[in-house]
Amino acid sequence: MTIAFDNSYARLPDRFFNAQGPAPVSEPALIAVNDALAAELGLDAGWLRSDAGLAMLAGNTLPEGAAPLAQAYAGHQFGGWVPQLGDGRALLIGEVIDTNGLRRDIQLKGSGPTPFSRRGDGRAGLGPVLREYIVSEAMHALGIPTTRALAAVTTGDVVLRERPQPGAVLTRVAASHIRVGTFQYFAAREDTEALALLAEHARQRHYPEAAGVLGFLKAVITAQAHLVARWLGVGFIHGVMNTDNMAVSGETIDYGPCAFMDRYHPAKVFSSIDQFGRYAYNKQPDMAAWDLAQLASALLPLIDPDENRAIEIATEAVNEFAPQFRDAWLEVFRAKVGLASAEDGDAELIHTLLDRMAVNQADFTNTFRALGGDTARDQFLDPAAFDQWQADWQARLVRDPQTPADRAEQMRRANPAIIPRNHRVEQAISAALSDNYEPFRKLLEATATPFDDGPLTAEYARPPSQDEEVHRTFCGT
Ligand code: AMP
Ligand code: MG
């Protein structure tokens, strides 16, 4: 099979990346191929499953026309500046134009060392590869912009993490892998020429309608305001919103210790490396704004030759994030409570529900899913706390123009029955580590149609029992 590569990033100057191939692995074996995504990319899934396809997915052979490279980037990690990060265990293999005419990166993650590996081995473990596969595909099914998983393979080699585990490679597909940290990399080197090339490349690729660098910055801000609002709408906690993990495309990227909440609590944190709750559920909008301020400051030399003027313009743009996020958040949560109209008190009404859910340890997903029926109150330790809110809600619904049938449909589409609950993800990973991929496959199937009630819904909508509950998630890359 030939892949119609069109590698625009590889045509950028040499200092944007290190051109190199993947390091071979001993004994590749297929875990999964994503048929629907392969079709969207114009790739033959049958071929991807063949020995030749497998060899490519493992990084043992390169398809014709590939221009593999490790991208250079920098970033703030938990607020601390790191002047050089870069692809330390991933390689961009090439870009294709998909069947919708969109440019997509094809990347191997876990493909061996690069000059950016620092002390890392350049490899990925089976656990994190499966987690990213499951969660990114679930996000896509939830309608939330995200990188995708085209395939996963094991390598036949062992990687040493907290404990030894099988090595694996994820084939990741993204609108691009350009991060806030990619801009920071060149800004920190005062390489204004590269910065301008990167900004124009990213603008043309993601926001061709945006005018110039400022238009690009504003478009990224708007995309992130919407993205984070969508995360909050499904109880998603990214866990590592460092500037190197924010894609300027507006796709969710770099699934590490991410997790979906079971019981709602606004300050929820799962990541074992997030000691101070920097990236807690309800801090995500502020942290996104912080990251975007770093993007804005990287772009300053391109915004105006007068630095003070540039700062003024960039600050104004970043200040737009908060109101845009508030509007996007309201849009998401209005839909969740079945409102098609807007009134001043709506935010307060929604916050009152959320506050009561937190106090009463209500399951986030199941409460919203049940809102229209008779069982939402059962989610509350004190069901009366829900009943009081419900009375106010119903009074508000009277002033909303939708028919009950339309409202029920709106709510069904805004409130998934199934999210990839942490205990299910952990079960899928631990079974796979014992060579049983059945729970992984079943979880993929259940999360593929999150808004429908199907044969797997009851089982996968069930919150964890006390001993199944996952309190901490690990990067364990
Ligand atoms: P992350 O926190 O996963 O976004 O990764 C931060 C940085 O560490 C990036 O530059 C990665 O490429 C690098 N990195 C993470 N894990 C490894 C690894 N196993 N080998 C080499 N580099 C790694
Ligand atoms: Mg990263």
Which residues have C-beta within 8 Å of that of residue 181, sequence separation ≥ 6?
73, 74, 75, 76, 85, 242, 243, 244, 246
Expressed in angstroms and rounded, the spacing between residue 139 Cα and the centre of ligand 2 is 18
- What is residue 16's predicted lDDT score, i.e. its pLDDT? 99
Catalytic site residue from 87, 121, 244, 274:
244
Residue 76 within a domain: yes
Inter-CA distances, 74 with 68, 71, 83, 257, 447, Å: 20, 10, 5, 20, 34
- How many A from CA of 81 to the centre of ligand 2? 14
Domain-terminating residue out of 174, 209, 239? 174
**Pair (207, 99) in one structural domain:** no
Clarify whether residues 22 and 145 are in a common domain.
yes
Residue 15: C-alpha distances to residues 10, 163, 195, 363 (Å): 10, 36, 11, 49
pLDDT at site 475: 67
- Provide the domain limits for residue 21: 9-174
Q: Which segments of the chain have a pLDDT < 70?
A: 475-477
Closest residue by Cα to atom 7, ligand 1, is 85
Domain assignment present for residue 354? The answer is no
Whether 363 lines ligand 1, by a CB cut-off of 6 Å, is: no
Provide DSSP, 327-380. Answer: HHHHHHHHHHTT--S--TTHHHHHHHHHHHHHHTT-BHHHHHHHTTSS-GGGGS
Ligand at minimal distance from the CA of 161 is: 1
Same domain for 204 and 119: no
Q: How far apart are CA 315 and CA 308, in angstroms?
A: 10
With a 6 Å cutoff on the Cβ, whether 473 touches ligand 1 is no
The residue behind tokens 């986030």 is 364
| pLDDT computed for residue 8 by the predictor | 98
Residue 412 covered by a domain: no
The reply to whether ligand 1 has any atom less than 6 angstroms from the CB of 122 is yes
Residue 265 DSSP code: -
Does 68 share its domain with 207? Answer: no
- Residue 186 CA to ligand 1 centre (angstroms): 19
The ligand with the least distance to the CA atom of 179 is: 2
Whether residue 136 is contained in a domain is answered as: yes
pLDDT of amino acid 81:
98
Residue 133 covered by a domain: yes
Q: Give the residue whose CA is nearest to atom 6 of ligand 1.
A: 85
Answer yes or no: is 79 within a domain: yes
The Cα angle at residue 322 between residues 352 and 293, in degrees rounded to 5: 140
Residue 132 backbone zone (phi > 0: left; psi -120 to 50: alpha; other: beta): alpha
* Residue 35 known to be catalytic: no
Residue 345: inside a domain, yes or no? no
Is 63 touching ligand 1 by the criterion CB < 6 Å?
no
Which two structure tokens, joined as six digits, stand for 243? 């500037």
Residues 141 and 196 grouped into a single domain: no
* Cα separation, 401 vs 372, whole angstroms: 16
Ligand 1 nearest atom to the CA of residue 477, by list position: 16
Closest approach atom of ligand 1 to CA 123: 19
pTM of the entire predicted model: 0.98
- Whether the CB-CB separation of 255 and 241 falls below 8 Å is answered with no
C-alpha 416 – ligand 1 centre gap (Å) = 32
Asked if residue 134 and residue 46 are part of one domain, the reply reads yes
DSSP, res 11 = G
| Ligand 1 pocket residue status of 477, Cβ below 6 Å | yes
- Would you say the CB of residue 123 lies under 6 angstroms from ligand 1? yes
pLDDT at 270: 92
C-alpha–C-alpha distance, residues 139 and 253, integer Å: 11
pLDDT digits (tens, 9 = 90+) for 13-66: 999 999 999 999 999 999 999 999 999 999 999 999 999 999 999 999 999 999
Closest CA to 245 of 433, 400, 472, 76: 76
Residue 117, ligand 1, Cβ within 6 A: yes
* pLDDT (0 to 100) of residue 453: 95
In a domain, 59, yes or no: yes
Ligand 1, atom 17, lies closest to the CA of 120
Instruction: Please give the tally of structural domains in the chain.
Output: 2
Cα 110–114–119 angle (5° rounding)? 85
Q: What is the pLDDT of residue 391?
A: 97
- Report yes or no: 121 and 113 within 8 Å, Cβ to Cβ: yes
167 and 189 share one domain? no
On whether both 200 and 166 belong to a single domain, the answer is no
Per the CB < 8 A criterion, the answer to whether 333 and 321 are in contact is no
Q: Is 161 in the pocket of ligand 1 (CB under 6 A)?
A: no
Domain termination residue (choose one: 294, 329, 364): 329
Q: Which atom of ligand 1 is nearest to the CA of 245?
A: 4
Q: Do 269 and 298 fall into the same domain?
A: yes
Residues 133, 251, single domain; the answer is no
Are 193 and 156 in the same domain? no
* Closest listed ligand to the CA of 119: 1
| Ligand showing the shortest atom-to-Cα distance for residue 131 | 1
Instruction: Identify the pLDDT of residue 477.
Output: 53
| The last residue of a domain, from among 274, 296, 329 | 329
Question: Per DSSP, what are the bridge partners of residue 260?
Answer: 236
